[in-house]
Chain A
């Protein structure tokens, strides 16, 4: 069975940094695009970033460009999201999302999410 387990969330001050991890299992990790989707408290879903299966192509929503970096380690079957210069508006549950063999694919599996709270 496909499993995605996020970790690394927590409380951080504005301007701070945090790194999220997503441990994947149950599928050939390096063959699939992966991404992050977030959901602010009481709000809808917002796509954050996607990385290709090979890791050589990345995509970001405008509001996180230059602040967040998505990466993956196929030897560890793990996806990462390094977040810098965090803002109040980055407060959300961050979901790890499994895509398809190409970047343009629906998310067929989701992790349970990890909460990031940016507050002083």
Chain B
């Protein structure tokens, strides 16, 4: 099973700041099969990024993803008020599909 470790657990930032979220895989994960999701309280998750760096339909370009070996990064260039939420990475290339534990981006 591929374990995904997200860091930090909580990120306290102000609107307009840059957010950098990390997701590290316990073994090789093809970039093709890494996604990022956003979840707000009481809502279903929303797909942001797939294939490590491709934005899903309707996702603003302030969201970007990158990969380096087993390390994956989600960057929000300038935080908008609606971006404060929990973010999860997921690998979907091998069964069992696995999610990271999440990073909460909160208002400082």
Contacts and interface: CB of A to CB of B under 8 A. Distances in A.
Interface of A: 37, 44-47, 50, 59, 61-62, 95, 104-113
A106 B90 contact: yes
Contact of A106 (B35, B96, B102): B35
A59 B88 CA distance: 21
B63 interface: no
Nearest to A46: B99
B56 interface: yes
B92 A106 contact: yes
A104 B33 contact: yes
A22 B90 CA distance: 22
Interface residues of B, number: 25
A44 B97 CA distance: 14
A104 B96 contact: no
B35 A47 contact: no
B72 interface: no
Given A47-B97, A47-B99, A110 B92 contact: no
Contact of A61 (B33, B47, B96): B96
Greatest chain A CB density within 10 A among B45, B95, B97, B98 is at B97
B47 A45 contact: no
Contacts of A45: 37, 39, 45, 88, 90, 99, 102
A79 B28 CA distance: 32
B11 to A, nearest CB: 16
